[in-house]
């Protein structure tokens, strides 16, 4: 099980290494001139829609993901625990609170993308966040 987790983690890191903000900007730039329906077909339903008094429509997409990354000292002590004991903190269900103290860093991935539409066409965009990347 631990070997599978490490392989999966390595694969995710490798794929993320190829994703860049420049490729994300290019992906967004390719949306210019497209209709609202074409945009929604590509990006899904927006989290928010706003309409300005000047007729501009704003579609807002927000992505946020929080992860707990155990500190190295957690892994150094794993030989003292069974696999179930070591990963219990990550696999508990419902509203249960895990046993013991977990020494970990909280990592938040965040990306907010805003598209501006005039006459049902994408005219501009802006984005910010550490997770605004594309392959």
More confident residue, 29 or 72: 29
Decide if 133 is inside a domain: no
- In sequence order, the 6+-apart residues with CB closer than 8 A to the CB of 53 are none
Decide if 111 is inside a domain: yes
Do 24 and 134 meet the contact criterion of CB atoms below 8 Å apart?
yes
More confident residue, 91 or 133: 133
Over range 75-81, report the average pLDDT: 55
Decide if 82 is inside a domain: yes
Decide if 83 is inside a domain: yes
Over range 9-21, report the average pLDDT: 67
Q: Is pTM, for the whole model, over 0.85?
A: no
Decide if 135 is inside a domain: no
The one-character DSSP state at 78 is: G
Separation in Å, CA 66 to CA 5, 9, 23, 51, 71:
18, 16, 23, 30, 16
Decide if 30 is inside a domain: yes
pLDDT at 14 over 80: no
Separation in Å, CA 82 to CA 6, 77, 87, 120:
16, 11, 9, 58
More confident residue, 70 or 80: 70
Decide if 119 is inside a domain: yes
Domain that holds residue 16: 2-128
pLDDT at 65 over 60: yes
Decide if 134 is inside a domain: no
Number of domains within the chain? 1
């Amino acid at each position: 099980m631990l070997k599978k987790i490490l392989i999966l983690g390595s694969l995710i890191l490798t794929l993320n290494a190829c994703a860049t903000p420049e490729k994300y900007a290019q992906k967004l730039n390719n949306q210019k001139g497209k209709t609202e329906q074409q945009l929604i077909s590509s990006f899904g339903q927006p989290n928010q829609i706003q309409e300005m008094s000047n007729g501009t429509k704003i579609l807002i997409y927000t992505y946020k993901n929080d992860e707990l990354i155990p500190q190295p000292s957690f892994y150094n002590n794993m030989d003292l625990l069974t696999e179930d004991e070591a990963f219990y903190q990550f696999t508990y269900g419902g509203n249960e609170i895990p046993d013991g103290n977990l020494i970990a860093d909280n990592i938040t991935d965040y990306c907010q993308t805003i598209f501006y539409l005039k006459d049902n066409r994408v005219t501009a965009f802006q984005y910010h966040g550490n997770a605004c990347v594309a392959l």
